[in-house]
């Protein structure tokens, strides 16, 4: 391909105009079509902060109710909604989206890319979050907010004891938001791995990138257990299939295991990005590079693994044998080590440097004090005997707020003050930043430090009032006073932000003298981030921003031009950061909004038990995704593209491992975790739940064997399609065969499911239905893949040698085959396993 | 679901029946811990320490005088307690209000009344061991036995010092410290306070807490000192190589501290555990939205009560079950909590050192009535126990 005319050197202004025309998001109604990561990242953070304010008001209501003994402000029904919503809003609608927003906004800028891997998915994730969050919050207005606690323990949350739609709001709303979180996590993972500046090998990546990479991977593995738990519980509530009901072979503890398998890693998922911000900010203010870059990376990877091995420390009082508890206790204590490594790396950085003070540093000192205390009480709670006393008392309330506010809110406030100039292009004027900090710091400690004692004096959590005889009055009153100070502090911070946004002092480049790439661009940022992309030759948190920035603006880096009105950025080799391909990104689109509205409609239909409508809307959602795939299609056989600086690279459709292929790998990893959780649930109920063996045992027959054969065939034909295409053969033939295989397998599974005894009778039958249903659903989606490819073949986009679409579909076919075989094997094995149960006395 | 009514079964067979047949009864036994033999928990030393604790609920109107004597290291407390604290004896100074404590017999009579009336809620509010000042002295007495000496040792040294040496300086120090120590101790006591233990299990855990608090204070101050130094004397840490900071602070120190702590906690946990076959008495606690019922498999003739009656000075295994949703059985002054989970059977061991009424709460959120799901445990002298049970059952 010849050198495009637009690649000729231009003046920086002309280059800016040309790039902004392609990358800009549009005004007015066109804002709804925005897919740009800067725009979406800001939307995520602002929305999260609004939900934070809502959660804060709820906290104030709690403190008002508990300020004195015997308050008649609200009754238990309202109070239960308030504390459930406080926890839910803060965890799911504030903390997770806030860190996603921060990552979405910052990562491409720090890593030297122009956008994230899937701009439309970013937008879709935002709309899902907004709609899901709105459903959850609006339920409060209608008085049907969830009221079973943010942990939703069964049987309390089952439809026997919570008959209204309150619990359904939680299950559906949170699942909606979680799915958006997983899409964001997949996108962040592949963006970090593939979309970096050339030369930025993994060991040159800024430390924040490492933190977000580990966080995103943890989300991919950590969220599916809760999503599965929510699906099972919603199915139990809606269709009366028992999974957690102890009278029908389920077990309430299964919910707790699934919930905390998610819930504990969640704490680290929230903490790590905040720690990443600290690791970025502290060296800037210590005026020396971060000490222990490698040690920190090892520490956070270790933390990620450990955090999946200690969920049981939330369940020390459920009656698990003491020696098993001791194991989890030790694991919980060990997790303090990676945290200590980070704390001491930061301390060493400060102690070796020449620290200077500014508002972000105030919050970092606040972080040190609050978080270290939270960590110490965390170690205390990890000790089994102490946990038996402190569990579910206000001691835990104090601990978790010290960890989450200390480990997330304080660093986020530091981050907001640090990066706010980047977002607004204006610097903060100190007047009210400092008193705001002191109000927050004093208010926080007054509120929560005393709660340690309140808990040790025996105040259990989630009681709506208490008599004065227990001696908790003065503690609670002071906590409430502290709470209101804290609120005033946050109100001041909000005021400060608004003032800064409107009246802040404008500044030249790089106000903090930082060494990372996000400052090597105009602030506030342009839609395309960098007018041209840099070549990185050292660790990317120690760059000479003052030298790089003007060169990039002048178009002297890679891709310093516009080609055919396309949005382009560079994809690199995962580990070495060598140039690999040009990623051609889709432009602004209303499709994400439309798909999110359809998904929201499906969720609402399920909420109001309109299951047929929900099914129709679900089909519409699938259809809309096919439309996504059919728009912005890239022509086959483009060949090498010029990227400037004398380099030519293929487009992403013509390399082996572009982001879309890797994204599917990680999405299937999440899916696989969900499937593994389902297997875990099946085996757990068999092993532990009461009322086993069941009276009616499902004995599989030739239908299941036929389905197994179908899955084996799918696993063989999927790769065959790709091979035939590569060899220039008629690849449409194996595609047609695979479609028939899928249809037959679907039919066999359908007949098997229809002929099953009533699955409402026992957890054994209910899980069997879920396992076979899982296989059937995957066959159906496999058909959608084939249909999508067939349309592209008809439109001339998939020709011989255009492998990417087929290779992505191959991943799905093989995954379907493997999980389908395992699912059916599990069903085949169940009668034998139940037989074992009968033989043991 | 079959209701849990131990009282209707022969006492010896109750547990075997349950564990054998999963189909019939949705209950699985979940004994914590192994079968190894173990020395009785809460052995002599604990009881000795509580030498002056064997009193009934007391009401002391002359509050301040005993305090100061006690801080002076006098033994008045013990005498005082022995004089008036004969368990169950009517207390001449008892007041009319329950909150100040009543003689045990009266309390029991009232328990029986309440049971008939089904007024569970009143217990939690009004009934508790006497909050008389002498007991606060008892807490001080515990400190003398080094139970929590690490934290409050300074106060103890100060107070004992002034009794014996009586120098002017120390007197002033004593005058200065006394209100603070009293405040700190008052702040920690209460009818549900884990820091005012009344049984060996709760005592062991309280000690664990004070040890951890002291250790945490040291670690916290260390981090704060380093942080302060970084600002006060820039570059002060550059004498120590960068990686040594991370190695010693992040790895070596936590490994040492945590190993010791985990080992200590494991030993404490093993001592607290309800090792099967080592308890003399078993009682059942059944949680139901939103009240508890208690049963006595060792006394089949006794039906259900809604106040739990136990004998003092011996370990009692409470078999905790649930009817509907998850509850949690927690008597903070006696032991840690255990969840009551439908379909499961959990065991927690409690033991009271002295006669009295101990409050309990439901610690797991269980719906609209969670707050009110309180209960009371009444501890009797062993010789009075059967009679008290009979009376309670009527």
Listing DSSP states for A687-700 in one string gives HH-SS-S-SS----
**Is 80 exceeded by the pLDDT of residue A57?**
yes
Place B372 in a pLDDT band, splitting at 50, 70 and 90.
Answer: very high
Q: State how far the Cα of A16 lies from the Cα of A528, in Å rounded to an integer.
A: 9
Q: Is A377 on the interface with B (CB under 8 A)?
A: yes
Q: State how far the Cα of B97 lies from the Cα of A745, in Å rounded to an integer.
A: 76
Higher pLDDT, A305 or B167: A305
Q: State how far the Cα of A620 lies from the Cα of A388, in Å rounded to an integer.
A: 50
Q: Out of A470-479, A577-586, B139-148, which region has the weakest mean confidence (pLDDT)? A: B139-148
Q: Give the pLDDT mean for A567-587.
A: 95
Instruction: Output the CA–CA distances (angstroms, integers) from residue A722 to A713, B18, B39, B188, in the order listed.
Output: 15, 59, 70, 72
DSSP state of B282: E
Chain A positions in Cβ-Cβ contact with residue B214 (cut-off 8 Å):
none
**Is 80 exceeded by the pLDDT of residue A17?**
yes
**Is 60 exceeded by the pLDDT of residue B215?**
yes
Distance from CA of A319 to the nearest CA of B (A): 6
Tell how strand B28-30 and strand A647-649 pair up.
unpaired
* CA closest to B251 among chain A residues: A337
Rg (CA), chain B: 24
Instruction: Output the CA–CA distances (angstroms, integers) from residue A108 to A133, A193, A419, A530, in the order listed.
Output: 26, 11, 15, 10
Place A421 in a pLDDT band, splitting at 50, 70 and 90.
Answer: very high
For B17, the token pair is 């029946």
Q: Out of A232-241, A609-618, A699-708, B59-68, which region has the weakest mean confidence (pLDDT)? A: B59-68
Q: Give the pLDDT mean for A784-798.
A: 94
**Whether B346 and A319 lie within 8 Å, measured CB to CB:** yes
pLDDT in tens, A284-295: 999 999 999 999
DSSP symbols for A386-446: HHHHHTTBHHHHHHHHHHHIIIIIHHHHHHHHHHHHHHHSEEPPGGGHHHHHHHHHHHHHH
pLDDT at B189: 87
pLDDT in tens, A681-720: 999 999 999 999 999 899 998 999 999 999 999 999 999 9
pLDDT at B169: 62
Q: Give the pLDDT mean for B365-390.
A: 95
Q: Give the distance, in angstroms, between the CA of residue B223 and the centroid of all CA atoms in the same chain.
A: 33
**Whether B266 and A343 lie within 8 Å, measured CB to CB:** no
Instruction: Output the CA–CA distances (angstroms, integers) from residue B225 to A445, A630, B40, B218, B231, in the order listed.
Output: 19, 62, 45, 10, 10
Higher pLDDT, B243 or B88: B243
Q: Which of A156, A336, A457 is facing B195, going by the closest CB pair?
A: A457
B245 burial (CB, 10 Å; 0-12 / 13-18 / 19+) is buried
pLDDT at B129: 39
pLDDT at B182: 67
**Whether B250 and A343 lie within 8 Å, measured CB to CB:** yes
Q: State how far the Cα of A501 lies from the Cα of A661, in Å rounded to an integer.
A: 40
**Is 90 exceeded by the pLDDT of residue B139?**
no
Q: Which of B32, B254, B328 is facing A337, going by the closest CB pair?
A: B254
pLDDT at B173: 67
Chain B positions in Cβ-Cβ contact with residue A365 (cut-off 8 Å):
227
pLDDT in tens, A348-407: 999 999 999 899 999 999 999 999 999 999 999 999 999 999 999 999 999 999 999 999
pLDDT at B170: 61
**Is 80 exceeded by the pLDDT of residue A599?**
yes
Higher pLDDT, B20 or A246: A246
Window 295-334 of A: residues touching B by CB (8 A cutoff) are 295, 299, 317-323, 325-326, 329-330, 333-334
B290 prior amide bond cis, ω within 30: yes
DSSP state of A94: I
pLDDT at B184: 66
**Whether A247 and B344 lie within 8 Å, measured CB to CB:** no
A165 prior amide bond cis, ω within 30: no
**Is 70 exceeded by the pLDDT of residue A839?**
no
User: To 5 degrees, how large is the angle CA A731–CA A733–CA A734?
Assistant: 75
For B357, the token pair is 């009424």
Residue limits of CATH 2.60.40.420 in chain B: 24-54+102-131+191-394
Chain A positions in Cβ-Cβ contact with residue B212 (cut-off 8 Å):
379-380, 383, 386
**Whether B261 and A348 lie within 8 Å, measured CB to CB:** no
User: To 5 degrees, how large is the angle CA B364–CA B367–CA B371?
Assistant: 65
Q: Give the number of other Cβ atoms within 10 Å of residue A143's Cβ.
A: 11
pLDDT at A131: 96
- Average pLDDT taken over every residue of chain A: 94
Best to test chain B binding among A456, A472, A475 (most B CBs inside 10 Å):
A456
* CA closest to B339 among chain A residues: A318
**Is 70 exceeded by the pLDDT of residue B106?**
no
Chain B positions in Cβ-Cβ contact with residue A80 (cut-off 8 Å):
365, 367-368
Best to test chain A binding among B192, B244, B290 (most A CBs inside 10 Å):
B192
**Is 50 exceeded by the pLDDT of residue A435?**
yes
pLDDT at A632: 83
**Whether A690 and B344 lie within 8 Å, measured CB to CB:** yes
Q: Residue A281's closest CA among A188, A337, A339, A349? A: A349
Q: Give the distance, in angstroms, between the CA of residue A644 and the centroid of all CA atoms in the same chain.
A: 36
Q: State how far the Cα of B159 lies from the Cα of B74, in Å rounded to an integer.
A: 10
**Is 60 exceeded by the pLDDT of residue A430?**
yes
Q: Which of A385, A690, A691 is facing B336, going by the closest CB pair?
A: A385
Q: Which of B234, B255, B367 is facing A354, going by the closest CB pair?
A: B234
Q: Is A685 on the interface with B (CB under 8 A)?
A: no
Q: Give the number of other Cβ atoms within 10 Å of residue B90's Cβ.
A: 12
Place A28 in a pLDDT band, splitting at 50, 70 and 90.
Answer: confident
**Whether B328 and A388 lie within 8 Å, measured CB to CB:** no
Instruction: Output the CA–CA distances (angstroms, integers) from residue B29 to B1, B122, B330, B339, B369, in the order listed.
Output: 16, 33, 19, 13, 27
% of chain A beyond a pLDDT of 90: 88
Distance from CA of A217 to the nearest CA of B (A): 24
**Whether A352 and B237 lie within 8 Å, measured CB to CB:** yes
pLDDT at A9: 55
pLDDT at A546: 92
Strand ranges in A502-628 using DSSP code E only, listed in sequence order: 505-506, 567-572, 579-585
**Is 80 exceeded by the pLDDT of residue B102?**
no
pLDDT at B239: 85
Chain B positions in Cβ-Cβ contact with residue A452 (cut-off 8 Å):
none
pLDDT at B183: 66
Rg (CA), chain A: 27
pLDDT at A788: 96
Q: Give the pLDDT mean for B301-328.
A: 95
Q: Give the pLDDT mean for A507-511.
A: 87
pLDDT in tens, A714-738: 999 999 999 999 998 999 999 999 9
Higher pLDDT, B108 or B267: B267
pLDDT at B231: 86
Q: State how far the Cα of B328 lies from the Cα of B305, in Å rounded to an integer.
A: 18
Tell how strand B344-350 and strand B316-322 pair up.
antiparallel
Q: Give the pLDDT mean for B364-385.
A: 95
Place A262 in a pLDDT band, splitting at 50, 70 and 90.
Answer: very high
Please enumerate in sequence order all residues whose Cβ is within 8 A of that of B224, keeping only pairs 6 or more positions apart, or say none: A368, A369, A372
Domains and CATH numbers, chain A: 34-506 (1.20.210.10), 692-839 (1.20.120.80)
Q: Out of A314-318, B43-47, B378-382, which region has the weakest mean confidence (pLDDT)? A: B43-47
Q: State how far the Cα of B289 lies from the Cα of A712, in Å rounded to an integer.
A: 51
pLDDT in tens, A173-225: 999 999 899 999 999 999 999 999 999 999 999 999 999 999 999 999 999 99
pLDDT at B242: 86
**Is 70 exceeded by the pLDDT of residue B109?**
no
Higher pLDDT, A501 or A679: A679
pLDDT at B87: 39
pLDDT in tens, A102-119: 999 999 999 999 999 999
Q: Residue A291's closest CA among B83, B98, B332, B247? A: B247
Q: State how far the Cα of A708 lies from the Cα of A347, in Å rounded to an integer.
A: 58
> Residue B361: enclosing H or E segment and its boundaries?
strand B356-362
Chain A positions in Cβ-Cβ contact with residue B330 (cut-off 8 Å):
392, 458, 460
pLDDT in tens, A75-103: 999 999 999 999 999 999 999 999 999 99
| Top CATH class, B24-54+102-131+191-394 | mainly beta
pLDDT at B123: 37
Q: Which of A153, A160, A319 is facing B30, going by the closest CB pair?
A: A319
**Is 70 exceeded by the pLDDT of residue B39?**
no
Place A10 in a pLDDT band, splitting at 50, 70 and 90.
Answer: low
């Amino acid at each position: 391909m010849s050198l495009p005319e637009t690649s000729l050197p231009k003046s920086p202004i002309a280059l800016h105009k040309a790039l902004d025309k392609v990358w800009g998001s549009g005004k007015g109604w066109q804002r709804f079509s925005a897919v740009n990561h800067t725009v979406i990242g800001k939307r995520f953070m602002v929305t999260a902060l609004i939900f934070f304010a809502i959660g804060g008001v709820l906290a104030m209501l709690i403190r008002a109710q508990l300020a004195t003994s015997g308050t008649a402000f609200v009754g238990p029904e309202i109070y239960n909604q308030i504390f459930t919503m406080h926890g839910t809003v803060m965890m799911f609608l504030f903390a997770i989206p806030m860190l996603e927003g921060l990552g979405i906004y910052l990562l491409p800028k720090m890593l030297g890319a122009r956008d994230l891997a899937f701009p439309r998915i970013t937008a879709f994730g935002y709309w899902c979050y907004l709609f899901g969050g709105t459903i959850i919050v609006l339920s409060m207005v209608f008085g049907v907010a969830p009221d079973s606690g943010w942990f939703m323990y069964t049987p309390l949350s089952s439809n026997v004891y919570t008959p209204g739609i309150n619990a359904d709001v939680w299950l559906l709303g949170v699942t909606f938001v979680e799915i958006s979180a997983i899409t964001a996590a997949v996108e962040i993972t592949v963006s970090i791995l593939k979309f970096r500046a050339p030369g930025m090998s993994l060991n040159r990546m800024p430390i924040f990138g490492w933190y977000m990479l580990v966080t995103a991977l943890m989300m991919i593995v950590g969220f599916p257990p809760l999503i599965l738990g929510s699906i099972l519980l919603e199915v139990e509530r809606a269709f009366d299939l028992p999974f957690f009901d102890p009278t029908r072979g389920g077990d309430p503890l299964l919910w707790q295991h699934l919930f905390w398998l998610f819930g504990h890693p969640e704490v680290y998922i929230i903490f790590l990005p905040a720690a990443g911000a600290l690791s970025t900010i502290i060296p800037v203010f210590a005026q020396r590079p971060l000490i222990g870059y490698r040690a920190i990376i090892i520490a956070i990877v270790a933390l990620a693994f450990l955090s999946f091995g200690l969920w049981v420390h939330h369940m020390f009082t459920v009656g698990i044998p003491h020696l098993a508890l001791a194991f989890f206790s030790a694991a919980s204590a060990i997790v303090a080590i990676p945290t200590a490594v980070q704390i001491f790396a930061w301390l060493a950085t400060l102690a070796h440097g020449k620290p200077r003070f500014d508002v972000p540093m105030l919050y970092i000192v606040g972080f040190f004090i609050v978080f270290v205390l939270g960590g110490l009480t965390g170690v205390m709670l990890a000790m089994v005997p102490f946990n038996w006393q402190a569990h579910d008392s206000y001691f835990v309330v104090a601990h978790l707020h010290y960890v989450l506010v200390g480990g997330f809110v304080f660093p986020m406030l530091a981050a907001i003050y640090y990066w706010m100039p980047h977002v607004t292009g204006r610097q903060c004027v100190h007047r009210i930043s400092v008193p705001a900090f002191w109000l927050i710091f004093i208010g926080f400690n007054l509120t929560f430090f005393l709660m340690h004692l309140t808990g040790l004096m025996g105040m259990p959590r989630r009681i709506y009032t208490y008599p004065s005889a227990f001696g908790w009055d003065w503690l609670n009153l002071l906590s409430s006073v502290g709470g209101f100070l804290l609120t005033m502090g946050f109100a001041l911070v909000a005021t400060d932000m608004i003032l800064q946004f409107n009246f802040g002092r404008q500044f030249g480049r790089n106000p903090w003298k930082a060494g990372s790439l996000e400052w090597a661009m105009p602030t506030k940022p342009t839609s395309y981030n960098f007018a041209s992309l840099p070549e990185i030759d050292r660790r990317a948190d120690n760059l000479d921003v003052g030298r790089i920035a003007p060169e990039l603006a002048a178009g002297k880096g890679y891709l310093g031009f516009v080609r055919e009105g396309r949005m382009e950025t560079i994809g690199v080799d995962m580990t070495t950061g060598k140039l690999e391909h040009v990623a051609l990104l889709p432009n602004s689109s209303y499709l994400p909004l439309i798909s999110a509205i359809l998904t929201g409609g499906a969720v609402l239909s399920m909420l109001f038990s309109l299951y047929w409508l929900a099914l129709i809307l679900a089909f519409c959602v699938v259809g809309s995704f096919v439309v996504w795939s059919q728009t912005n299609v890239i022509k086959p056989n483009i060949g090498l593209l010029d990227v400037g600086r004398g380099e030519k690279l293929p487009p992403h459709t013509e390399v082996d491992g572009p982001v879309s292929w890797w994204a599917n790998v990680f999405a299937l990893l999440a899916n696989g975790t969900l499937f593994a959780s389902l297997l875990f649930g099946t085996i757990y109920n068999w092993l532990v739940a009461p009322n086993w063996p069941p009276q009616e045992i499902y004995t599989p027959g030739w239908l299941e064997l036929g389905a197994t054969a179908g899955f084996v065939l799918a696993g063989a034909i999927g790769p065959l399609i790709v091979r035939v295409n590569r060899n220039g053969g008629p690849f449409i033939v194996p595609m047609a065969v695979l479609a028939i295989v899928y249809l037959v397998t679907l039919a066999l599974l359908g007949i098997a499911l229809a002929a099953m005894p009533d699955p409402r009778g026992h957890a054994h039958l209910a899980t069997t239905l879920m396992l076979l249903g899982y296989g059937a659903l995957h066959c159906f989606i496999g058909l959608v893949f084939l249909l999508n490819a067939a349309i592209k073949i008809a439109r001339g986009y998939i020709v011989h040698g255009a492998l990417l679409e087929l290779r992505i579909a191959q991943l799905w076919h093989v995954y379907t085959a493997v999980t389908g075989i395992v699912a059916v094997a599990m069903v085949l094995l169940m009668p034998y396993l139940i037989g074992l149960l009968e033989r043991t006395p | 679901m079959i209701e849990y009514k131990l009282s209707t079964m022969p006492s010896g067979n109750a547990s075997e029946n349950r564990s054998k047949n999963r189909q019939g009864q949705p209950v699985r036994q979940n004994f914590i811990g192994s079968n190894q033999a173990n020395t009785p928990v809460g052995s002599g030393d604990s009881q000795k320490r509580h030498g002056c604790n064997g009193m009934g609920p007391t009401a002391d109107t002359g509050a301040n005088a005993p305090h100061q004597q006690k801080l002076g290291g006098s033994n008045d407390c013990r005498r005082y307690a022995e004089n008036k604290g004969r368990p169950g004896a009517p207390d001449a100074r008892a007041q009319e209000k329950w909150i100040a404590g009543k003689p045990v017999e009266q309390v029991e009579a009232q328990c029986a009344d309440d049971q008939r009336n089904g007024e569970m809620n009143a217990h939690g509010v009004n009934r508790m061991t006497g909050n008389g000042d002498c007991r606060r002295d008892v807490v001080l007495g515990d400190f003398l036995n080094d139970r929590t000496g690490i934290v409050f040792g300074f106060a103890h040294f100060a107070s004992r010092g002034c009794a014996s040496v009586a120098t002017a300086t120390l007197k002033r120090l004593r005058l200065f410290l006394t209100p603070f120590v009293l405040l700190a101790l008052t702040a920690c006591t209460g009818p549900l306070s884990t820091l005012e233990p009344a049984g060996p299990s709760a005592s062991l855990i309280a000690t664990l807490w004070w040890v951890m608090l002291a250790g945490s204070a040291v670690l916290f101050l260390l981090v704060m000192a380093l942080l302060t130094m970084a600002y006060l004397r820039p570059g002060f840490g550059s004498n120590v190589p960068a990686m040594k900071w991370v190695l010693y602070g992040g790895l070596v120190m936590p490994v040492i501290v945590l190993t010791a702590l985990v080992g200590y906690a494991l030993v404490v946990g093993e001592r607290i555990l309800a090792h099967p076959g080592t308890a003399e008495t078993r009682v059942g606690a059944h949680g139901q939205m939103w009240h508890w019922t208690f049963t006595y498999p060792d006394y089949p003739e006794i039906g259900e009560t809604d106040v739990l009656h136990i004998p003092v000075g011996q370990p009692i295994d409470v078999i905790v079950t649930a009817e509907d949703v998850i509850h949690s059985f927690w008597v903070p002054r006696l032991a840690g909590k255990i969840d009551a989970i439908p379909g499961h059977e959990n065991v927690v061991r409690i033991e009271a050192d002295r006669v009295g009424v101990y409050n309990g709460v439901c610690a797991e959120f269980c719906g609209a009535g969670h707050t009110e799901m309180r209960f009371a445990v009444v501890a009797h002298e062993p010789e009075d126990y059967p009679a008290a049970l009979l009376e309670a059952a009527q």
